[in-house]
Amino acid sequence: MNTPTLGQAVPDFQAESTSGGTFRLSQRHGRPLVLYFYPKDSTPGCTQEGQDFRDLYPEFQKLGADIVGVSRDSLKSHERFRCKYGFPFELLSDGDEALCRLFDVIRLKNMYGKQVRGIERSTFLIDAEGRLAAEWRKVSVKGHAEEVLRAVAGLAAKTSA
């Protein structure tokens, strides 16, 4: 499968979710979707990013957008992470890296002097018709959720005009 490009339809995908079922993109059309990839549950940057999206969640909802987080962690780890920080959105487990490959977010990183494969913090905004509307790669956590919210607001303004 090719990595989606801006303006292109995102191929349907599915993954196990903390909602207790399987998340399917095709069942989410009709609402914009913020899909954010993060390296690991309960690490400082990932926790802060989740908290920032959590704190702005009501604003995203007012604009009709859903938020979903994705990492390679297990559903059990996701459940603990979600409950501990009160995330009101789903987390998807991508243990087989299918979503990571689809969105091309796996990179070689240096960790304690060793090369390891890991998720490059990235966010994708999928519009209500299932097309890729915006993407952010090599994300810095500070201010990122606000930037994504502005993009969702811009998308909402375009569709209501």
Say if 144 falls within a structural domain.
yes
Say if 5 falls within a structural domain.
no
- Residue 158, CA atoms < 13 Å, CB-side half-sphere: 10
Letter string b/e over residues 3-34, b meaning 16 or more CB atoms within 10 A of that residue's CB = ebeeeeebeebebbbbeeeebebeebeeebbb
Say if 65 falls within a structural domain.
yes
Say if 8 falls within a structural domain.
no
Q: Is the pLDDT of residue 161 over 60?
A: no
pLDDT of residue 160: 64
- 68: domain CATH number is 3.40.30.10
Q: Nearest CA to 135 among 36, 46, 17, 64?
A: 36
pLDDT (mean) for 138-159: 91
Instruction: Render pLDDT for 90-141 as a digit per residue (tens, 0 to 9).
Output: 999 999 999 999 999 998 777 678 887 889 999 999 999 999 999 999 999 9
Instruction: Render pLDDT for 20-38 as a digit per residue (tens, 0 to 9).
Output: 889 999 998 889 999 999 9
CA angle, residues 24, 101, 154, in degrees to nearest 5: 60
Q: Is the pLDDT of residue 159 over 80?
A: no
Say if 82 falls within a structural domain.
yes
25, 46, 91, 100: the catalytic one is 46
Say if 9 falls within a structural domain.
no
Angle between helices 44-62 and 144-160 (to 10 degrees): 20
Instruction: Render pLDDT for 34-76 as a digit per residue (tens, 0 to 9).
Output: 999 999 999 999 999 999 999 999 999 999 999 999 999 999 9
Angle between helices 44-62 and 75-85 (to 10 degrees): 70
Amino acid at site 117: R
Alpha-carbon span 12 to 4, nearest angstrom: 11
Q: How many domains does the chain have?
A: 1
> Which residues, 6 or more positions from 62, have their beta carbon under 8 angstroms from its beta carbon?
none
pLDDT of residue 113: 81
Say if 1 falls within a structural domain.
no
pLDDT (mean) for 73-86: 96
Is this structure's pTM higher than 0.75?
Answer: yes
CA angle, residues 79, 93, 45, in degrees to nearest 5: 70
Active site residue 83: no
Alpha-carbon span 107 to 94, nearest angstrom: 15
Q: Is the pLDDT of residue 5 over 80?
A: yes
pLDDT of residue 116: 78
pLDDT of residue 1: 60
Torsion over CA of 138, 64, 81 and 117, rounded to 10 degrees?
-30
Say if 86 falls within a structural domain.
yes
pLDDT of residue 32: 96
